[in-house]
Amino acid sequence: MKFICNKDQLLNAINIVSKAVNPRTTLPILECILIQATSDGIHLTANDLEMGIASAPIPAKVDKEGQVALDAKLFGDIIRRVSGDEVHVEEEENQSILLTCGTSRYQLMGQKAEEFPALPEVEKNQTVIVKEQDLKAMIQETIFSVSMDESKPVLSGELMEGKDGFLSLVAVDGYRISYKKSQAQTGDSQIRAIIPAKTLREIAKILKDSQEETKIYFTEKQVLFDIEGNRVVSRLIEGEYIKYEQTFSSDYKTKIVANRSDLIAALERATLVSRDARKVPVKFEITNGKLTLSASSEIGTAREEVYLNTEGNDLLIAFNPRYCIEALRAIEDEEVAIYFQSSLSPCILKAEEGDSYKYLILPLRL
Amino acid sequence: MKFICNKDQLLNAINIVSKAVNPRTTLPILECILIQATSDGIHLTANDLEMGIASAPIPAKVDKEGQVALDAKLFGDIIRRVSGDEVHVEEEENQSILLTCGTSRYQLMGQKAEEFPALPEVEKNQTVIVKEQDLKAMIQETIFSVSMDESKPVLSGELMEGKDGFLSLVAVDGYRISYKKSQAQTGDSQIRAIIPAKTLREIAKILKDSQEETKIYFTEKQVLFDIEGNRVVSRLIEGEYIKYEQTFSSDYKTKIVANRSDLIAALERATLVSRDARKVPVKFEITNGKLTLSASSEIGTAREEVYLNTEGNDLLIAFNPRYCIEALRAIEDEEVAIYFQSSLSPCILKAEEGDSYKYLILPLRL
């Protein structure tokens, strides 16, 4: 193997595939990036066995084709720090790699490419096409409510649904539901697949705020994301996802419309009287034109007044403030409407028009 | 106690005194800030028993004098987050504090001021006056080589020496010496005091890059820093500091003059072949006009070439690269001279002219 390529292009590909490197593994080969020099350029691959990423080919002058696996952290650190523009890579003998760039010259022991686990092939039948920025927003604005409870495997992922020109993601953790949808090219596909949260988190880091199209291919057990030529393959979670649709009632008895950042700031101030992460409930007292937040613990009490638009009945209800803050932070609109039924029913946060996002939060007993 | 003061001025004082709050203590009173409302304003004090800080008085409208101790983290978090400009504080009954600002209203349980440990009085006989920015630089450019070895208490601090119009700080850890001096008003004082590293680290955070004068008062057991009216009192470390002066020889057989940032970058690249923090030695091979750095471990070898001015004999010597990088980072000059005697003698980094800083590093055996 012998090739010359551009440092920045190589680094970009390393940064992408590194998201599938498992830094805590007992299999040293999984700490590596597979480097393959072929006639159409350099291909980098990483695979933690749950998720694998293969980079788009990096343009290169390939003098001799070949392949080797190199420690991902070392390879990344070197390419990130060397001073030159062109990276020269050459296999001198069995897996011994000479890497030169700028004033630097490294001799590195690689591992056999044959030991590297290949990415599974994914058939390209069921396809959805969505804009990069839309998929990124869908993940970022729902992922925080994936369940941490490992006893329910289906809730450790998000349900992705695609049909009739829309793609949606939903995350449920037993106390709240976060839902976001976007326009997409779904064709005749009827998608319903549970994608592991870890895969979605890593994909969100790769996705840019761009209008570029991301293609998503689904099979029964796997999903493949094609992001600007980089391929991310992940297993799907098996099982039945919970029926969440009917919990979003459109009836309400009380409604408030608040400035999102003001409400977040007031909630954060009210929670200061709870020590550490043990959050105390925050009471919402809704009267005509005013929301009074209050919290109380052994170290003191806090009270906040927020003036806003209200509609319907007065109400006293309590929530875990973290759930309210996380949902409010995820919303992009500056004004947000919150709908209530009673002290014992969940509240729903959603846009006043359209249904591109909706959040449901269960109340705490007063 | 009842007063009104400006939020930003109060927050500034909280930020300063909080550096003497011990967040991991079994004595709850040490997690507090003492608030004293007097006719000349509000005084905040924190004290971890090794070091104490009393703020400069904060201008305030004091309706009723008094004092109370409040949890430092809670008090700081609240004042940092509230939205108004004026903070109202009132003791309603025994240590129960009503704090209002903007739309927020807090009721907080304080502790008895009488339980708070008073700061020791420091006599103002031996005085040194130095510019804030100079004292800050002296600390930041030497503190990294304070010893971590707890068996030698004197080396857990820095030796501060003041006489003849100069103030200096020196830190020694058995492998290296870092020394920095600045002009100062020393009067007739002959200062030689060992100041705990922790005190110096916290003081460096309080000091600004300003020309303001800092007054330092020394007694046998204590030191008092007066920084813009804020008083930091610390114990001194007892014992004899090691004689470091004669180790800085001015003879040399080999000299290099390097661009500081280029040399740091080359050293950092050479150390990439050492896994984790277990740094491998970096060899310096000095020949006419060239420095070749090399390092080798089980994962590979690295070689860097740096072209620079050399003088005297060729030399092969090895160092712990971290010590070289830390000394180079501390130096402000863009060009740095390094002086060598032999493969077994320490190297000395210093300015080509003057002696405002000097660093000594022991070599490793080849």
The per-residue pLDDT for range B139-165, each reduced to its tens digit, is: 999 999 999 988 999 999 999 999 999
Q: Dump pLDDT digits (tens) for A94-115.
A: 899 999 999 999 999 999 999 9
Reading the block at residue A174, the tokens are: 């037993």
Considering the entire predicted model, what is its pTM?
A: 0.92
Interface contact A268, partner B, CB < 8 A: yes
Burial B257-275 (b: 16+ CB within 10 A, else e): ebebebbbbbbebbbbbbe
With beta carbons under 8 A apart, name residues in chain A contacting B68.
Answer: none
Q: Which residues contact B28 (CB under 8 A, 6 or more apart)?
A: B111
User: Is A276's pLDDT higher than 80?
Assistant: no
User: What pLDDT does residue B24 have?
Assistant: 84
* Total residues found in chain B within this entry: 366
User: Is A279's pLDDT higher than 80?
Assistant: no
User: What pLDDT does residue B93 have?
Assistant: 87
Q: Dump pLDDT digits (tens) for B3-40.
A: 999 999 999 999 999 999 988 888 999 999 999 999 99
With beta carbons under 8 A apart, name residues in chain B contacting A110.
Answer: none
Minimal C-alpha gap between B342 and chain A (Å): 26
Strand partners, A196: A157
Interface contact B104, partner A, CB < 8 A: yes
User: Is A59's pLDDT higher than 90?
Assistant: yes
Interface contact A333, partner B, CB < 8 A: no
Mean pLDDT over residues A184-197, rounded?
94
User: Is A278's pLDDT higher than 70?
Assistant: no
Interface contact A103, partner B, CB < 8 A: yes
The overall average pLDDT reported for chain A is 95
- Interface-testing mutation among A104, A293, A296, with chain B (most B C-beta atoms within 10 A): A104
ipTM for the whole complex: 0.89
Binned at pLDDT 50, 70 and 90, residue A257 comes out as very high
CA–CA gap between residue A70 and residue B99 (Å, rounded): 59
User: What pLDDT does residue B177 have?
Assistant: 98
User: Is A352's pLDDT higher than 90?
Assistant: no
Nearest CA in chain A to B75: A272
Binned at pLDDT 50, 70 and 90, residue B189 comes out as confident
Q: Do A302 and B82 touch (CB under 8 A)?
A: no
Burial B97-108 (b: 16+ CB within 10 A, else e): bbbbbbbbbbbb
Interface contact A201, partner B, CB < 8 A: no
Reading the block at residue A289, the tokens are: 């034109």
User: What pLDDT does residue B353 have?
Assistant: 83
Interface contact A269, partner B, CB < 8 A: yes
CA distances from residue B210 to B133, B137, B206 in whole angstroms, order as listed? 5, 11, 11
Minimal C-alpha gap between A82 and chain B (Å): 7
Mean pLDDT over residues B336-359, rounded?
94
With beta carbons under 8 A apart, name residues in chain A contacting B273.
Answer: 74, 106, 108
Identify which of A105, A265, A272 has the shortest CB distance to residue B303: A105
User: What pLDDT does residue B172 have?
Assistant: 96
Region of poorest pLDDT, from A178-192, A275-289, B78-92, B196-210: A275-289
3-state secondary structure string across B330-358: HCCCCEEEEEECCCCCCEEEECCCCCCEE
Binned at pLDDT 50, 70 and 90, residue B119 comes out as very high
Identify which of B77, B78, B301 has the shortest CB distance to residue A106: B301
User: What pLDDT does residue B352 have?
Assistant: 82
Backbone angles phi, psi at B101, to 5 degrees: -165, 130
Edge to edge, what strands does the sheet with A290-297 contain? A315-319, A282-287, A290-297, A300-307, B104-109, B96-101, B86-93, B2-6, B60-64
Minimal C-alpha gap between B278 and chain A (Å): 14
Q: Do A272 and B305 touch (CB under 8 A)?
A: no
Interface contact B304, partner A, CB < 8 A: yes
Q: Dump pLDDT digits (tens) for B231-290.
A: 999 999 999 999 999 899 889 999 999 999 999 999 999 999 987 656 789 999 999 999
With beta carbons under 8 A apart, name residues in chain A contacting B300.
Answer: 74, 106-109
- Interface-testing mutation among A75, A82, A106, A293, with chain B (most B C-beta atoms within 10 A): A106
Q: Do B105 and A304 touch (CB under 8 A)?
A: yes
Binned at pLDDT 50, 70 and 90, residue A319 comes out as very high
User: What pLDDT does residue B277 have?
Assistant: 55
User: Hey, which residues 142-181 in chain A have their CB within 8 Å of chain B?
Assistant: none
User: What pLDDT does residue A125 have?
Assistant: 85
Nearest CA in chain B to A296: B107
Mean pLDDT over residues A279-291, rounded?
94
Q: Which residues contact B93 (CB under 8 A, 6 or more apart)?
A: none
Q: Do B78 and A107 touch (CB under 8 A)?
A: no
User: What pLDDT does residue B276 have?
Assistant: 63
Q: Do A104 and B78 touch (CB under 8 A)?
A: no
User: Is A169's pLDDT higher than 90?
Assistant: yes
CA–CA gap between residue B265 and residue A344 (Å, rounded): 61
Nearest CA in chain B to A264: B81
Reading the block at residue A326, the tokens are: 């996380």
User: What pLDDT does residue B150 have?
Assistant: 84
User: Is A157's pLDDT higher than 70?
Assistant: yes
**DSSP assignment of A127-159:** EEEEEHHHHHHHHHTTGGGS---TT-GGGGEEE
Minimal C-alpha gap between B23 and chain A (Å): 12
Q: Do A273 and B303 touch (CB under 8 A)?
A: no
Interface contact A84, partner B, CB < 8 A: no
Q: Do A299 and B71 touch (CB under 8 A)?
A: yes
Dihedral sign computed on CA atoms, order A214, A20, B301, B289: positive
Minimal C-alpha gap between B77 and chain A (Å): 7
Number of A:B CB contacts under 8 A?
A: 80
User: Is B355's pLDDT higher than 90?
Assistant: no
User: What pLDDT does residue A225 have?
Assistant: 98
Minimal C-alpha gap between B103 and chain A (Å): 6
CA–CA gap between residue B254 and residue B184 (Å, rounded): 34
- Interface-testing mutation among A78, A91, A103, with chain B (most B C-beta atoms within 10 A): A103
How many Cβ atoms are within 10 Å of A246's Cβ, its own excluded? 6
Minimal C-alpha gap between A88 and chain B (Å): 14
User: What pLDDT does residue A47 have?
Assistant: 97
Mean pLDDT over residues B78-87, rounded?
96
Interface contact A301, partner B, CB < 8 A: yes
3-state secondary structure string across A303-320: EEEEECEEEECCEEEEEC
What percent of chain B has a predicted confidence (pLDDT) above 90?
89
The overall average pLDDT reported for chain B is 95
Q: Which helix (H) or strand (E) holds A357?
A: strand A357-361
Of A355 and A343, the structure prediction assigns the larger pLDDT to: A343
User: Is A80's pLDDT higher than 60?
Assistant: yes
- Interface-testing mutation among B272, B283, B307, with chain A (most A C-beta atoms within 10 A): B272
Minimal C-alpha gap between A293 and chain B (Å): 10
Q: Do B301 and A269 touch (CB under 8 A)?
A: no
